[in-house]
Structure 1
Amino acid sequence: MKRFNAPEQWSTQYLTTGAFSDLATLFNLDKLSDWPSCQWFNQYLNAKTTQDKAITFVEDEKFADETRYYEQIIFETGQVPTRQQNWHDLFGGFIWCLFPKTKALINHQHIEEIKLHGLKERSKHRNALTLFDECGVVLAITEQSWQHQLRDHQWQQVFVEQREHWGKSIRPFMFGHANYEMLTQPYIGLTGKALFVIVPDDIFCKDLSEQYAYLDQRLYEMIKLDDCLRDNKNLSPLPLLGVPGWWTDNENPEFYSNTDYFRPKRRKRT
């Protein structure tokens, strides 16, 4: 598998199409000529911790002598340590703006797990929270059949035969900021973790910002009330370059014949 290396220089060429199109639309990225500052996010940020502290992005250098864990700093102060000119933290900032309630809840649940298990022992719950936070893709679906087919790795059916239904009864929303970072230099093998969310039939007719707000509320409820990230059982592999509209090569149906990438479901022996 190709070794991943994020681009070193700022360029909006990575952020205008495909998986980044939502970011380009909602954050006017075509107007950015250089790396945005922490303060730049303020115009888009409306987030609070579960302790009701306003979330702000603060340059990571200011926490050089900090002994608290990253999640503890956020929970106790509302300040998110943010590395400048860093793709990973840039995309993390976007996700805080788009899913503020969910991000705050995940932060809170990390703290609760740390209280129970300490920093050295990572529980299944914390592993699932981290996996979704880094690699999650919300698949908003109006029909349950999409979940069954994707969890069963029926790639030809969902990506080729039913391609015209993407954007109508299924739509992907990126949550994992590491996914975004790796998509700046995409490679065959790049895979996210899908979490399925049932949505109303008319959701995709709404304004894009309304769609994100709705999903933020639903994710919050699913994680807090349904405990859907208690472990990683609800997360399903999703080949990111196979998502229609996210990678130009997948416009050719032959792209999906690569079974090293679009792997069939491994069947359990009885």
Structure 2
Amino acid sequence: MAQIDWHQPWLQTWREPGLRVAQAVAGAMPLHQALNSEPTAPLRFVPQSELPDGQAYEDYIFKTGQCPTREGLHDFFNGLCWLCFPQTKKKLNQLQAAEIAAAGVRPVRGPVRDALTVFDENAAFLSAPQALWDALITKDWQRLFIDLRPLWPQAQLVLFGHALLEKLVYPRKPITAHVYRAQVAINSIAYLDAWVAQDLSAEKLAGKPFAPMPVLGVPGWWPENENFSFYDDSLVFRPRR
């Protein structure tokens, strides 16, 4: 956690609770206890050893209101997601539990559970003018990040997926988010949380309503993209098939 640069623009949402929890862990407090010390914790964090053998992780959370937690960055950011987006995380867990109850735990996840996992691990929320969204959907990277660059101050991008946040501790050009459109202005994280939780459904997620976007291409998020040759890398900014 000492490697986290809390001044990065994508960590603005997470900075305040993240610093508190990280400092508690640095003082030798177990991660689950540090998360439980936050007043906004919507459930109880417990050591990973509390998860019974053979029980699905999502099913355990749904039935007990407890989240098994391992030491390390992955579960650190997962815990922060529960603190900052409690309604969205609860809705995702309810949808996972419903799928498990209906079909059991299978070697291959179905389309809804696949989409739920992608959302939980790698989603980002974008509220933006229609022109930016259209360019993102068509993977017109030149238009999205260069021609329409003056529109980006009107956009709001908030990262959500805890694996995405973990990867960005060590920023690399290819890191890509699965962007979910927030069709509202992001007035606050609490407002966004409530809107996303209401908007999510198994039917919508089964259609994979995501648009991939290399997040370090966002204007103002990475110094190297001020040189527009940054976007010429076709292995990262891939054309639409």
TM-score tier after normalising by the smaller chain length:
0.7 to 0.9
Deviation at 1:264, TM superposition (A): 1.6
AA of the residue aligned to 1:131: V
Deviation at 1:162, TM superposition (A): 2.6
Map residues 139-178 of structure 1 onto 2, 5 A cutoff. 139-141=126-128, 143-166=129-152, 168-178=153-163
Deviation at 1:228, TM superposition (A): 2.4
Residue aligned with 2:139, SS: coil
Tell whether 2:33 aligns with 1:39. Answer: yes
Q: 1:256 — aligned with what?
A: 231
Deviation at 1:74, TM superposition (A): 0.3
Q: Deviations over 1:111-159 (max 9, x none)?
A: 1111222101411111111111111111122x33322110111212222
Residue aligned with 2:109, SS: coil
Q: Deviations over 1:7-53 (max 9, x none)?
A: xxx31543331322332245445982727632322325242xxxxxx
Q: 2:177 — aligned with what?
A: 192
Contact kept in structure 1, 2:132 and 2:151, CA below 8 Å? no
Contact kept in structure 2, 1:91 and 1:177, CA below 8 Å? yes
Q: 1:52 — aligned with what?
A: none
Map residues 104-253 of structure 1 onto 2, 5 A cutoff. 104-120=90-106, 121-141=108-128, 143-166=129-152, 168-200=153-185, 203=186, 206=187, 211-224=188-201, 227-232=203-208, 234-253=209-228
AA of the residue aligned to 2:54: T
Deviation at 1:73, TM superposition (A): 0.9
Contact kept in structure 2, 1:133 and 1:175, CA below 8 Å? yes
Residue aligned with 2:53, SS: coil
TM-aligned CA distance change 1:23 to 1:93, over 3 Å: same
Contact kept in structure 1, 2:17 and 2:80, CA below 8 Å? no
Contact kept in structure 2, 1:138 and 1:195, CA below 8 Å? yes
Tell whether 2:43 aligns with 1:68. Answer: no
* TM-score, length-scaled by structure 1: 0.79
Alignment equivalent of 2:86, drawn from 75, 100, 107: 100
Number of equivalenced pairs: 236
| Distance of 1:128 and 1:99 partners within structure 2 | 18
Alignment equivalent of 1:11, drawn from 2, 26, 29: 2
Structure 1 unaligned spans of 5+: 1-9, 48-54
AA of the residue aligned to 2:168: L
Contact kept in structure 2, 1:191 and 1:237, CA below 8 Å? yes
Residue aligned with 1:43, SS: coil
AA of the residue aligned to 1:238: M
- Percentage of identical aligned residues: 32
Structure 2 unaligned spans of 5+: none
Deviation at 1:238, TM superposition (A): 0.8
AA of the residue aligned to 1:38: H
Contact kept in structure 2, 1:91 and 1:181, CA below 8 Å? yes
AA of the residue aligned to 1:148: D
AA of the residue aligned to 1:17: Q
AA of the residue aligned to 2:69: T
Residue aligned with 1:32, SS: helix
